[in-house]
Amino acid sequence: MSGKRKAKVTRTTTETQIWAEVNLDGSGNYKITTGIGFLDHMLEQLSKHSLIDIELEAKGDLHIDAHHTTEDSGYVIGEAIGKALGSRVGINRFAHAEIPMDESLSSVTLDVSGRPFLEWKVMMPNSRLGEMDTELFKEWFRAFAQAAGITIHVRNAYGENSHHIIESCFKALGRSLREAVEIDKRNNSAIPSTKGSIGGKEG
């Protein structure tokens, strides 16, 4: 990994042991192992389309179900990105991406505000994708938003295939993150807020 905006995070509980490293100024390289094939695939999409290098290794209580590993991987990646952002000087901050995948169309609008919030308007036809319950994707996005300090609005306009719907959501998150965390060439030495800092009730 190269660049200055990097962070490493380790999370260890009785349910999961997860290690991650991110580089915001990367090229979308990834090395991800969660033990959940479809989740790996989605996190790889996130890395590739955000251009954030992500390494993640997770070991969780998959003999119970995929819930803890899915949620905690969102916390760890989110925390690492939040740490790598630091004071958030010079970033674009706001971004929006609308991504099609075959018959499905999804959008992500976000504000790297320091204030975590998730608005989730996604309905999926199937209750499971591989070994995962589809309801777990909302838990991943919520954990990510909470740990990263990002306001995220996710909306699926339409779609019939649950795989396509959720993949378009992750790709849209990747593209919007790419824009939001990039340095604004016209305003690269200032915090993009009238408060002079990012976080809190206003910003």
29 assigned to some structural domain: yes
Query: Could you read off the pLDDT of 133-183 as tens digits, one per residue?
Result: 999 999 999 999 999 999 999 999 999 999 999 999 999 999 999 999 999
The Cα–Cα gap between 58 and 35 comes to 7
> Is residue 127 situated within a structural domain?
yes
Is residue 33 assigned to a domain? yes
- Whether residue 143 lies inside any domain: the answer is yes
Query: What Å distances lie between residue 9 and 58, 59, 67, 176, CA to CA?
Result: 12, 14, 20, 23
pLDDT at site 201: 46
Tell me the per-residue pLDDT of 79-106, one tens digit each, with 9 for 90 and over.
999 999 998 989 999 999 999 999 999 9
Tally of residues, the chain: 203
Average pLDDT for 37-63? 97
Residue 54's CATH number: 3.30.230.40
pLDDT surpassing 60 at residue 122: yes
Structural domain count, the chain: 1
Domain with 40, as residue range(s), is 6-181
Q: What pLDDT sits at residue 185?
A: 87
Q: Does residue 129 belong to any structural domain of this protein?
A: yes
Residue 167 maps to a domain:
yes
- Residue 109: pLDDT over 80: yes
Q: Say yes or no to pLDDT of 202 above 60.
A: no
Query: Is residue 188 assigned to a domain?
Result: no
Whether 65 is in a domain gets the answer: yes
Both tokens assigned to 66 = 């995929």
